[in-house]
């Protein structure tokens, strides 16, 4: 490695003004006046590439560390904030097995969002391997270009994840509040969000003309090939718009949730879910605060780290927030027992180890803690082992006394006809379906 000719005169001139003895490299490495004068001169006399080559030479000579030191582990943060939203998405689809609600468009949107986040995370890890977190003067120039190319792709993926997550939440609102006032307003807000985000993604993808200037302009040698928009202004514009939409999404369901016939505990739970959205807004605002540092940085491969990590945390929390209402039914013991049969056995062992009395009944006569009976004539009772089987004049499924203490807070039993599976005439529909859904 050799010092570029444009930098030699600057180094010699700065040495002449230094108080360090001639040839004392260690003294020059710690002389702030020498470093400042040499840096100012080299910046004016040399190109960006020659300046970085000179900085690489002098920094290596002084034994400077090539890597920046962070107060956190970037790789660990990326892995964690990929794993926990993925778990939330898996639980969301498992919860569908315990609900009457089927997979709908909001679920498909969150799948697209999660798939994009996985790609997002993979590109981040690739970026780390390329040199993000390493001082730019220690990275080969072609690799620096590749780093900004990956950043370009992730810039678009960020918009896709944010869009799909918000659309999923809005579709969820539309589904559970379908028959309440303001339905058309929610649909209009959804359309507005889609249009504005797609427009923002398009502006980001074509912020430079030709497009390759987005990842090649860093060295200052390609500006005559086209033009680029102000990156900081673009980031702030998109960020402020996203924050405004996030605030609107948080406020949108509050009037309906407040009006639902929920007890205090369930209302607190509902508002706690919305609190996660407030955390996302805080992270978004903090990300905008560090954007300025990255955009004007002379060491962007180091300063880009905080910006990218905050973006990752933001979109991961968004996916997690969108899944929370759907996975809350899994907190109910009965729903867990439907998914994990071994939990039922564990539950029985903890309550005296009693075996299921239905195990002695024929296969066609078993049901979930109910008595199935059929026949005609007056009601009669006959015993079979320790279990009484009641013969009624109408084939139906009724709750036993064993089930009564487990009645839901909504005061209705989901009875079904024993043979056809249809709703029993005695089934009482809940007065407010939205309240039941949120409560779950």
Average pLDDT over residues 314-334: 79
> Which of 314, 334, 354 lies at the terminal end of a domain, its last residue?
334
Q: pLDDT by residue (tens digit) across 141-175?
A: 999 999 999 999 999 999 999 999 999 998 888 88
Q: Are 293 and 259 in contact (CB under 8 A)?
A: no
Q: What pLDDT score does 366 carry?
A: 42
CB atoms inside a 10 Å sphere around CB 43: 12
Q: Are residues 11 and 149 in the same domain?
A: no
Q: Is residue 67 part of a domain?
A: no
Confidence of residue 53 (pLDDT cuts 50, 70, 90): very high
Q: Which two tokens stand for residue 415?
A: 């009875």
Q: pLDDT by residue (tens digit) across 67-124?
A: 887 878 889 999 999 999 999 999 888 877 766 667 788 889 999 999 999 999 999 9
Q: Is residue 39 part of a domain?
A: yes
Q: Which two tokens stand for residue 85?
A: 């939203």
Candidates 207, 210, 235; CA nearest to 223 is: 210
Q: pLDDT by residue (tens digit) across 267-291?
A: 676 677 777 888 889 999 999 888 8
Candidates 341, 387, 379; CA nearest to 362 is: 387
Q: What pLDDT score does 419 carry?
A: 37
Instruction: Answer yes or no: is pLDDT of 376 > 50.
Output: no
Confidence of residue 367 (pLDDT cuts 50, 70, 90): very low
Candidates 281, 258, 277, 282; CA nearest to 325 is: 277
Q: Which of 10-19, 47-56, 220-229, 391-400 has the lowest mean pLDDT?
A: 391-400
**CATH code of the domain containing 144:** 1.20.1070
> Which of 62, 83, 110 lies at the terminal end of a domain, its last residue?
62
pTM above 0.95, yes or no: no
Q: Are residues 284 and 414 in the same domain?
A: no
> Across 207-216, 225-234, 384-393, 408-417, which has the greatest mean pLDDT?
207-216
First-residue to last-residue Cα distance in the chain: 66
Average pLDDT over residues 222-250: 86
Q: Are residues 232 and 161 in the same domain?
A: yes
Q: What pLDDT score does 331 carry?
A: 63
Q: Are residues 246 and 308 in the same domain?
A: yes
- Whose tokens are 């024993």? That residue is 418
Q: Is residue 339 part of a domain?
A: no
Q: Are residues 224 and 295 in the same domain?
A: yes
The SS3 assignment for 161 reads: helix
Q: Are 355 and 348 in contact (CB under 8 A)?
A: yes
Higher pLDDT, 17 or 301: 301
Residues in Cβ contact with 114 at an 8 Å cutoff, skipping those fewer than 6 apart: 85, 86, 89, 319
CB atoms inside a 10 Å sphere around CB 215: 19
Q: Are residues 369 and 327 in the same domain?
A: no
Instruction: Answer yes or no: is pLDDT of 417 > 70.
Output: no
Average pLDDT over residues 125-147: 93
CA dihedral for 382, 385, 386, 387, sign (positive or negative): negative
Q: Is residue 349 part of a domain?
A: no
Q: Is residue 346 part of a domain?
A: no
Q: Are residues 43 and 90 in the same domain?
A: no
Q: Are residues 58 and 79 in the same domain?
A: no
Average pLDDT over residues 300-318: 92
Whole-angstrom CA distances from 40 to 10, 33, 159, 306 are 9, 11, 39, 27
Backbone angles phi, psi at 432, to 5 degrees: -135, 100
Domain encompassing residue 46: 5-62
Calculate what percentage of the chain has a pLDDT beyond 70.
Answer: 70
Q: Are residues 114 and 232 in the same domain?
A: yes
Q: Is 24 annotated as a binding residue?
A: yes
d(CA 68, CA 301): 10
Average pLDDT over residues 381-392: 45
What average pLDDT does the chain have? Answer: 76
Q: Which residues on neighbouring strands pair with residue 370, listed in sequence order?
A: 399
Q: Is residue 69 part of a domain?
A: no
Q: Are residues 19 and 127 in the same domain?
A: no
Calculate what percentage of the chain has a pLDDT beyond 90.
Answer: 27
Confidence of residue 374 (pLDDT cuts 50, 70, 90): very low
Q: Are residues 105 and 146 in the same domain?
A: yes
Q: What pLDDT score does 99 carry?
A: 65
Q: Are 288 and 236 in contact (CB under 8 A)?
A: yes
Higher pLDDT, 315 or 63: 315
Candidates 434, 430, 432, 436; CA nearest to 412 is: 430
Q: What pLDDT score does 262 carry?
A: 67
Q: Are residues 32 and 168 in the same domain?
A: no
Total domains, the chain: 3
Q: Are 4 and 54 in contact (CB under 8 A)?
A: yes
DSSP letter for 134, please: B
Confidence of residue 386 (pLDDT cuts 50, 70, 90): very low
Residue 363, CB-side half-sphere exposure with 13 Å CA sphere: 0
Q: Is residue 265 part of a domain?
A: yes
Q: Is residue 358 part of a domain?
A: no
């Amino acid at each position: 490695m050799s010092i570029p000719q444009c930098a030699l005169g600057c180094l010699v001139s700065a040495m002449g003004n230094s108080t360090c003895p001639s040839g004392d490299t260690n003294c020059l490495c710690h002389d702030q006046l020498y470093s400042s004068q040499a840096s100012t001169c080299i910046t004016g006399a040399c190109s960006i590439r020659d300046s970085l080559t000179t900085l690489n030479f002098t920094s290596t000579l002084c034994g400077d560390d090539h890597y920046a030191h962070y107060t956190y582990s970037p790789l660990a943060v990326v892995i964690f904030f990929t794993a926990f939203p993925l778990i939330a998405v898996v639980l969301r689809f498992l919860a569908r097995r315990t609900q009457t609600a089927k997979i709908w468009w909001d679920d498909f949107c969150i799948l697209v969002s999660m798939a994009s986040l996985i790609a997002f995370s993979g590109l981040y890890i690739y970026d780390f391997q390329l040199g993000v977190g390493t001082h730019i003067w220690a990275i080969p120039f072609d690799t620096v270009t590749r780093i900004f190319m990956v950043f370009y792709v992730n810039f678009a993926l960020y918009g896709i994840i944010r869009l799909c997550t918000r659309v999923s939440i809005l579709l969820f609102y539309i589904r559970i509040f379908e028959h309440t006032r303001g339905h058309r307003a929610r649909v209009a807000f959804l359309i507005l969000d889609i249009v504005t985000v797609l427009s923002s993604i398009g502006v980001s993808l074509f912020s430079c003309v030709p497009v390759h200037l987005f990842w090649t302009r860093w060295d200052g040698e390609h500006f005559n090939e086209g033009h680029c928009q102000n990156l900081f202004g673009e980031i702030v514009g998109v960020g402020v718009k996203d924050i405004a939409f996030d605030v609107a999404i948080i406020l949108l369901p509050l009037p309906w949730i407040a009006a639902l016939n929920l007890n205090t505990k369930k209302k607190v739970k509902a508002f706690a879910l919305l609190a996660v959205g407030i955390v996302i807004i805080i992270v978004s605002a903090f990300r905008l605060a560090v954007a300025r540092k990255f955009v004007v940085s002379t060491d962007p491969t180091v300063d880009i780290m905080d910006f990218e990590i905050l973006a990752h945390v933001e979109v991961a929390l968004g996916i997690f927030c969108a899944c929370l209402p759907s996975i809350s039914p899994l907190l109910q013991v009965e729903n867990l027992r439907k998914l994990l049969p071994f939990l039922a056995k564990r539950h029985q062992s903890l309550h005296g180890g009693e075996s299921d009395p239905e195990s002695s009944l024929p296969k066609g006569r078993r049901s979930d803690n109910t008595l199935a009976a059929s026949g005609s004539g007056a009601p009669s009772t006959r015993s079979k082992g320790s279990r009484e089987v009641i013969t009624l004049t109408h084939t139906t499924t009724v709750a036993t006394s064993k089930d009564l203490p487990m009645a839901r807070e909504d005061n209705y039993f989901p009875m079904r006809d024993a043979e056809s599976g249809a709703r029993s005439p005695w089934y009482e529909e809940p007065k407010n379906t939205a309240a039941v859904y949120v409560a779950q």
